[in-house]
Structure 1
Amino acid sequence: MRQKSLIARLQRILTLERSIGFGLEYLGLATLRFPRIMALCVLAFTLLCAFQLPKANVDGNLLRVYANSGHYFDAYQRLADTFGTFENDIYVLVHSDQLTDPTVLEQVRNLAFDLELNDFADGTMSPFTLRKPDGTGGSMPAVPEGMTDKAHVANALADLQQNDPMMRNLITPDLTGVVLIMFPNSELSKDGGTKEMLASLRALAAQYQSANLQIELTGPPIWTSEMLDAAVNDQIKFTIYGFTIGSLIAFFALRSFFGAILVATTPLIAVIWSIGSVIMMFGSFSFLTIIVTTLVVVMAFAESMFFIFNWLANWRDGMDPYDAVDATLRLVGPATALTTLTTLVAFTSLYFSPGRGVEEFSIAGAVGSAIMFICMMTVLPVLLRTALRLGFKLPRSPNFALNAPIPVAWKLARKYGRPLTVLSAITVILLFIPFFLIEPRFALEDFMAKNSTAMQTAEEIDTGVGGVAPIYVRVPLQENDPDIGPGDFEMIRTVHQILEHELGVNKVISAASMSNYTQSGFSRAQVLDAVGPFMRRRFVTDDGSQALVTGFMPTILKSGKLADLVDRLETKIRAAGIPNAEVGGFRVMTTFATDDIVRSLQISLAISVLINILLIGLAFQSLRIALVSILPNLFPILGTEAYLWFSGSGLQLTTVIALTIAFGIAVNDTIHFLAHYVHSRRDHQHNHEEAVKNTLFRIGGAIVATTVILCTGTVIVAFSELPQVALFGTLFVLSLALALIGDLFMLPAILMSGRKFFNPLGRLRVRLGDRAHRQAIPSEKT
């Protein structure tokens, strides 16, 4: 008997005695029961997080985003650890129509030497630091000093540009431009050192800038610096804009200044908590986690608006305002808990995709969602009761503009429910076509700040010398000779020729490219010694076990072309009998890692959609509820992917993240709608049609208001200086706008077209609010 009673007890807990929020709303009930204790806890955590705000910073290292993303990241790390790379070098583009003038040339030489003496420099490469064998076992400057004739200067530079393998990519064919490369000291330039390094280099360039010399800086550290500046500026703008617009919409909707303050206070505390939590967890923001702050702001505004809309509606229905806080918490709290769970599922699904950046974004987003819910359950109830004690008065009815679409939606659902349902189903099915056709895409320029002067300079270098973006082939050697034995040399030359065939003549450097010196009678040891120990290690390791072949591509290169290039190189190198050679580089790593991450994120999105639909069905204990939520919530995701396909944007890293998170948030309105519909059916005994109409008119305005807040609070992201962030904002807004269509027009039409099918929903046993206070909520009006 005891066993049977225990089973019966568990069954009741899983059915009648469990709310749709799985009991999470009891945090809010605890707040009402122990308001002072909760207030102290809120104050303590707010102060803890506030103390973290001065530490807030953005880590601009893109490797952090791609860390642990798979084979190509590991290959890049091995490459960097073994040889170092050109990926963090500073390029100084010097342009002058008078470059062959001996006086101007000496100015450039002095600039190159000052660059070499810079405190942050580990080494430099330029026509002036390059030396060549002198035939006596020593070396001499590649560009002789003390030249006084323009013709001599022109001949010296032309000889280097045409014959020296390293200078072909650093001197323009018309002899009007030269590229100086600085190799930064990794220890001095890390963290805040990069900012100091760039400041010193800009000051140095300014000293030499003149009518005869135009000097521009570019390279990954400068690109990253510009990205960081854009990210920080964006975050400041997004936060200020989000709060301003959210408050204005709340004021417009509620027609109450103090009501708008009540709506805005919870998001303010939520964003302080989220920033502090990210800093405590990760030490800094990344280009992905910085988006979380904006998401927390708009999500908190939306849920706060939902809560206050219901609170004021209960108050207007004649309920005591203090009781209305309690009743709203018990009715809306479970739905808010369920919406938080769906958002958590969306964020959590990202965790299993490769890449540290996505993993951190997943954790930060999940924590942000939990923070938003905790704020709703702890801060808002105490805030509303405090406002009442301070004399807050009931505002006028909500602005009519918010309810303008509601009569139209109801009329369409009542008269054309079945045709609209069929049309919705056909539309969703057709939208699966672009879903299966869309392909991943990566472009480096999408990560760079718009109107980046450094990127423009890089394009000038591409035009002048044909590109300086490196692609590497790591070649394992067999003879272990630091001066490279004859067999290993032939292997290096084979790889060199394969890479040169793909990139073009004079676009590859390696130990095999020194043939003009070795053919003149110099040994390989002499040639390698002449380039200096720093550059020597860019060709062969000190123990002679590995060699590096480096090719130079244009900085701006589409991911599809780069992927095809890598495939051809790997195929040709294997066919040449060098199976262990490894193609790599930052561009290679980001292209292939992005492809892997995006495809994994697509799977995560599909899993998130499936789990959330099942979660809704489990929460309501109804397969019918799960089925009715499918079309309205697939429509915004598939519609947005169709936009990406038609626009040619393809699937990028932030686009799939945007779709996943937008789906998790878009489901929220569906949950609130269905919760009110079932509540109206079961607890107020409304028939099916009355329940749909009552729900639509009761919370339709809140759905419109929350969507407007989410869209307008996020639309500023679409104007970000960072293209990836801007695209995130555009897709997020588009997804939510389509979700509004799904919830206002598709969902009611589906419900109205299936009267008999949905009739059992009135007998659902799961609680929509707390039973003890169900009677305190007055009957809703149709």
Structure 2
Amino acid sequence: MDGTDGKQRPASPEAKSPAPLPPAKPDNLVLGLERSGLIALRTPILAAILVALLSIVAAFGVARLQVDDSLSSLFRSDTPEFRQFEDLTKRFPSHEFDVLMVVEGDRLLQRGPIDQLRDLVTDVQLIEGTRGILSLFSAREAPEEGKLPGPLFPADLPEGEDYDALIKRVLANDIIKGKFISDDGKLALIVIAIDPAVANGERIAEVVKQIRETAAQDLEGSGLRAELSGVPVMRLEIRTAVERDQLLYNGIGFLAGCLIAIIFFRRLSFMVIAAAPPLLAILFAQGVLGWMGFTLNTFLNVMTPLIMVISFSDSMQLTFAARDRLIRGDNKYQAFKNAILIVGPACVLTHATAALSFVALLFSSSDMIRHFGEGGIIATVIALFTVITVLPVLGVLLVRKETAFAANMKGSDTAVDALRAFCGWIAHRVVARPGVYSAIAVLAVLGLASIYVGLETRYRLADQVPDKRQAVAASQRLDAKLTGSNPINVLIELPKGVSAYDPQALKVLADVHAAVEHQKGVGNVWSVETLRRWIAEKLGRSDIETLQRYIGYLPPHLVHRFLAKDGDAVVVSGYIPDEDANELLPLVNQLDATLNTVREANPGYTVAVTGLSAVAARNSALMIQRLNTALTIEIVFVAAFIGLAFRSFVVMLSAILPAIIPILASGVLLWLVGSGLQFASIVALTVSFGLGLSATIHFLNRLRREDRPGQPPELAVERATVLVGPALILTTVVLACGLAVTVFSDLPSLRLFGWLSAFAMIAALVADLFVLRPIIMFLLRLTRRNTVGAETKAEPAQ
């Protein structure tokens, strides 16, 4: 009995013995674009050969894909701030190309270990690809008039009390204390300058390997341990992790999904039919992106699961539809043709909405995000035509003895029948009280939204770097012992024609240096002013000629860290810990405000706080907020697009809540675990939005076909749920398993993306089953309340 009207309801057609179905009728929901999938059915063998050839071409395109491992790529944009950062990197190619070796041990300053450490510094300088080294052994004794200062560490180390006196001088040396040696004398920093051409090329992997091997060999038996960090090492670890994760975790996740699909389909052929088109879609999309010169980065790395989500959902719906037709008596050609005509319009619409969701990204200030938007549009178009073209071809080539298959499946399709029974059970209950369920959904959305809007944005440099490798661990040691590992710079551009040795220029440099070293949170401050102070203190000389002479004693790679080659700019460099951007932003703003005094007193001089840490602190929160806003706008815009496509205001309204519930629920989960909104979070929510839209569109498309004139809408809702629900559930389980394995990745951002996407997909499934059905039911009843029609017996579903 119907719990709402008390009348006997017709039995669902799925409860009866399957009966032959009439041929599906084409419609113009998407202007017939789905019928492009029928072209290959006319010559399936020729189409298969063409697909094989295109796969080979695509594979060469994939081989052309390079990994963009630059830590600054995310913030690259045509803005004054980023152009200033790029200018700094070009004029002072130091921090971006420095390998930081952190050597630590209780016996660090004992005579034997310090001798081994000096041998290590000497040997590393001989590795091809290094330009120079800065370490505690770079320090010099106090200068004497007319003499070149000797090294702090003599060639032959003294013994006994003389050695103890040497160590006291080392720990008190103004040049290296707190910079290259920790206050407790248990940690030393060695800065290895790498040739920019090597750091940006493939040879960096070999250079880093040689440095590690040299450190292990020279420090053997010393009790000291060495770890590497710095931008080149971080980039190398990112590249290695991305390549490894993409192959390993995507492979493991996909195999788990295939196993689940085989269990339900009970035929290897149907697993291949369902799984191969999404894989080919990924291959073709990445191949085209490779030929077009795209590079893999933080965002494009998740293009694979994004394509998989949308394509696999469509592929499963097509496979289930064709399988149902085969069981009902269609031959394989008829079955896959009818599947394209029935499900194809929804496939076109899901990919169209996915492509539209990328359009907002094209207006981002970040080059990386814009490229992600461009790549997403290209990939979704390729994925659409791959799925609707390849799947029917595979179907007619792989399905054999369809009559025998239909006979075997009748009455023994246990797993799929169980899913259908479950979907029918849910549908029967949610449509019985649509108003109650709709009201609960609205209240849930309001509650979830109140928490979501309070989410804070989060960004740390370490989130981009594998946290199970050396780089992050070494950086954490520097944060703890030497005030930080991330550089922050103040670029001073001199007026035209003014030399860096001009008295006013030196005064500006001194004022800026003082401001930076007095800024709370900044340590290890270096500039030409550091040398000038040392000469003044030790030699009692502050004239410009003496400063120039001592700078001339220094190696060029060291001089050009602080003084531009053409002499028109100088830089003051300090270090800060790797903290959340929200915590660094006040520091950056306070330092910038302090420097206003210098700017006002010295017109014509450009004084700018820059560096990757400063750029990230200023821009990360704004970029994440804009992405979040863009996602919110997309939901409304795409819902309107869906309503326009279906030519129904009811459809537009019904699509909104199921689309935003997974996003809000995921946001609440982020709030509960204290994670906040990160770049990986926003991308994960975009993926879940794609899956939620796909499920919504497939259901609405089937509902449109099942809705019969004169019948109560609940019958159409139940029929559509039973027909699309099993594929939706199976798709969600497969994709959630595929993404969940990424929790074992070395990349924190990928781990976050994986578990959050898996949760969001499950939330999307719940929203589709328990929110979309009652809302559409409620709205349909509301719009038809004045329509009186007799209830008739349900016709067989197509």
Give the TM-score taking structure 2 as reference length.
Answer: 0.88
2:393 maps to 1:367 = no
One-letter identity of the residue aligned with 1:548: V
- Greater alpha carbon shift after TM alignment, 228-237 vs 525-534: 525-534
C-alpha contact 1:72 1:593 (8 A) present in aligned 2: no
Shift in Å, 1:305: 1.2
Please say if residues 100 and 154 of structure 1, whose CA atoms lie closer than 8 Å, have aligned partners that are also in contact.
Answer: no
> C-alpha distance in 2, partners of 1:745/1:347?
28
Which aligned pairs between 1:74-113 and structure 2 lie closer than 5 A?
74-113=83-122
Distance, in Å, in 2 between the alignment partners of 1:99 and 1:713 is: 47
Counterpart among 713, 729, 732 of residue 754 in structure 2: 729
Instruction: Find the partner of 1:516 among 534, 543, 550.
Output: 534
Q: Does 1:590 align with 2:609?
A: no
Q: Cα gap change, 1:63/1:506 in structure 2, threshold over 3 Å: closer, same or farther?
A: closer
Structure 1 479/109 Cα, relative in aligned 2: closer, same or farther at 3 Å? Answer: farther
Separation in 2, partners of 1:724, 1:168: 32
Q: Which moves more between the two structures, 173-182 or 573-582? A: 573-582
Residue of structure 2 in register with 1:770 after alignment: none
Aligned equivalent of 2:562, options 535, 539, 546: 539
Distance 1:61 1:505 in 2: 24
Structure 2 CA distance for partners of 1:311 and 1:586, relative to 1, 3 Å = same
Residue of 135, 159, 165 corresponding to 1:126? 135
User: C-alpha distance in 2, partners of 1:49/1:390?
Assistant: 33
- The residue type paired with residue 129 of structure 1 is S
Identify which range, 71-80 or 404-413, moves more after superposition.
404-413
Question: Residues 498-509 of structure 1 correspond to what in structure 2 (within 5 A)?
Answer: 498-503=515-520, 507-509=524-526
Question: Is the CA contact 1:471–1:553 (under 8 Å) kept in the aligned structure 2?
Answer: yes
1:375-394, aligned counterparts within 5 Å? 375-388=386-399, 393-394=405-406
Question: What residue number does 2:150 align with?
Answer: 140
Aligned match of 1:457: 474
Q: Give CA-to-partner distance per residue, 1:186-213, whole Å, 9 cap, x none.
A: 1123221111111111121122122223
Hey, what does 1:31 align to over in structure 2?
40
> How much has 1:128 moved relative to structure 2?
2.2
Whole-Å separation in 2 of the counterparts to 1:182 and 1:287: 27
Counterpart secondary structure, 2:180: coil
> Would you say the 8 A contact 2:92–2:560 is kept in 1?
yes
Mapped to 1, the partners of 2:109 and 2:392 lie a distance apart of 76
Q: CA deviation at 1:339?
A: 0.7
* More deviation, 319-328/37-46: 37-46
| 8 A contact 1:518–1:527 mirrored in 2 | no
For residue 430 of structure 1, the aligned residue among 447, 456, 471 is: 447
Q: Quote the RMSD (CA, aligned, Å).
A: 2.8
**Alignment partners' CA distance in 2, 1:599 and 1:693:** 40
Could you tell me how far 1:633 is from its partner in structure 2?
Answer: 1.2
Cα shift readout 1:114-135 (whole Å, capped 9, x = no counterpart): 2222211112111223446442
CA distance in structure 2 between the partners assigned to 1:46 and 1:709 by the alignment: 24
Decide whether the 8 Å contact of 1:92 with 1:217 is kept in 2. Answer: yes
Instruction: Specify the SS of the correspondent of 2:317.
Output: helix
1:95-244 superposed matches below 5 A: 95-131=104-140, 133-136=143-146, 138-212=148-222, 213-244=224-255
Q: Percent identity?
A: 26
- Secondary structure, counterpart of 2:746 in structure 1: coil
Between 292-301 and 673-682, the greater mean CA deviation after superposition: 292-301
2:508 is the alignment partner of 1:491:
yes
Number of residue pairs matched by the alignment: 751
**CA positional deviation for 1:168:** 3.1
Match of 1:67 in 2: 76
Determine the C-alpha separation between the residues in 2 that align with 1:541 and 1:453.
32
2:666 match: 640
Task: Tell me the alpha carbon deviations over residues 642-681 of structure 1, each in whole angstroms, 9 at most, x when there is no partner.
Answer: 2223332222112112212321231111111111111111
Aligned counterpart, 2:583: 561
Q: Which stretch shows the higher mean deviation, 395-404 or 661-670?
A: 395-404
Structure 2 equivalent of residue 42 of structure 1: 51
Residues of 2 paired with 1:648 and 1:664: CA distance? 25
Q: CA deviation at 1:293?
A: 2.0
Cα-to-partner distance string for 1:685-733 (whole Å, 9 max, x where unaligned): 6431211111122222122112222222222223322111111122212
Given that 1:255 and 1:399 are in contact with CA atoms closer than 8 Å, whether structure 2 keeps it comes out as no
Are residues 160 and 603 of structure 1, via their aligned partners in 2, closer, same or farther at CA, if it must alter by over 3 Å? same
Deviation at 1:25, TM superposition (A): 0.6
**Cα distance change, pair 42–529 in 1 and its aligned pair in 2 (3 A):** same
Q: 1:651 to 1:210 in 2, by over 3 A?
A: same
Query: Could you tell which deviates more after superposition, 475-484 or 254-263?
Result: 475-484
CA-CA distance at 1:610 after TM superposition:
2.0
* Residue among 770, 777, 781 paired with 1:752: 777
Maintained 8 Å contact 1:296/1:369: yes
CA 1:26–1:164: 2 relative to 1, 3 Å: same
Letter in 2 for 1:562: L
Counterpart contact for 1:479–1:488, Cα < 8 Å:
no
Query: In the TM superposition, what is the alpha-carbon distance from 1:17 to its structure 2 partner?
Result: 9.6
CA deviations on 1:609-633 (whole Å, 9 max, x unpaired) are 1221111011111111111111111
The structure-2 alpha-carbon separation of the partners of 1:317 and 1:97, relative to structure 1 and needing over 3 Å to count, comes to: closer
Q: TM-score, normalised by structure 1?
A: 0.90
Range that drifts further, 754-763 or 520-529: 754-763
Give the Å deviation of 1:635.
1.2
* Contact 1:476/1:545 (<8 A) preserved: yes
Hey, what does 2:715 align to over in structure 1? 690
Pick aligned residue for 2:461 from 433, 444, 461:
444
CA separation of 1:478 and 1:751: change in aligned 2, threshold 3 A: closer
